[in-house]
Amino acid sequence: MENTRVAIIDNDMGNMFSVKNALEKVGLAVEITKDRGHIMKADALVLPGVGAFGSAMKHLNEHGLVETIKAFVETGKPFIGICLGLQLLFEESEEFGNSPGLALIKGRVVRFPQHVNQEEIKVPQIAWNKIMKGNMEWERTVLKNITAGEYMYFVHSYYVVPNDEKVILTKTSYEGIEYCSAIQQNNIVAFQFHPEKSGLKGLEIYENIKEWIIRSKEGK
């Protein structure tokens, strides 16, 4: 797999190195980079991230990465978003007012409410939580061999609301709120949870991602 290259967007935020370690563990060659040339030559691109939506978009804009990401997605090669990297794909976030996103997926990002049924809830959600099937069969996705109800690791205060429910790959419930926790649209797959922090099952997802990248590279 050494000639199968994955680029990780260097966004100076959070979980880049844990994602790199997970991808290398399944046998892929990985580079963390801001360089457009290196990104466009890669066989797959990963947008990770934790932290504030607005700050992340500011960083992407300052380094010319918004157009690079959009150009890469247009190639049809696999694109993977993780945690904040899922949220950034959407049109806007209500974090600190309305912040525009990459607008690759139609919809918006909203905050968990402070109260549910007049009871205060803990935000952010920092917990292992179940992923359930959304609106597509997992057997044809990077979640093949993953069982509905499997626990994954989450850390977030905001969640995505896609306009088109058909893109919802997984759903998760927190404090009685059911929300979209992963999406798939064409060559884009993105997770609110952290597969790289979710034990052996999370690593299985990375194995499936590797297979997807290799199939895409071979034109299958």
Whole-number CA gyration radius for the chain: 16
Answer yes or no: 180 catalytic: no
Answer yes or no: 194 catalytic: yes
Catalytic annotation, pick one of 156, 180, 196, 204: 196
Q: What single DSSP character describes residue 194?
A: B
**Quick one: the chain helix, strand, coil %, rounded to 5?**
30, 35, 35
Catalytic annotation, pick one of 59, 150, 194, 204: 194
Per-residue burial over 113-138, b = 16 or more CB atoms within 10 Å of its CB, e = otherwise: eeeeeeeeeeeebeeebebeebbbeb
Closest CA to 77 of 104, 25, 41, 103: 41
Residue 132 near residue 171 (C-beta atoms within 8 A) = yes
Catalytic annotation, pick one of 83, 156, 180, 204: 83
> What is the set of active-site residues?
83, 194, 196
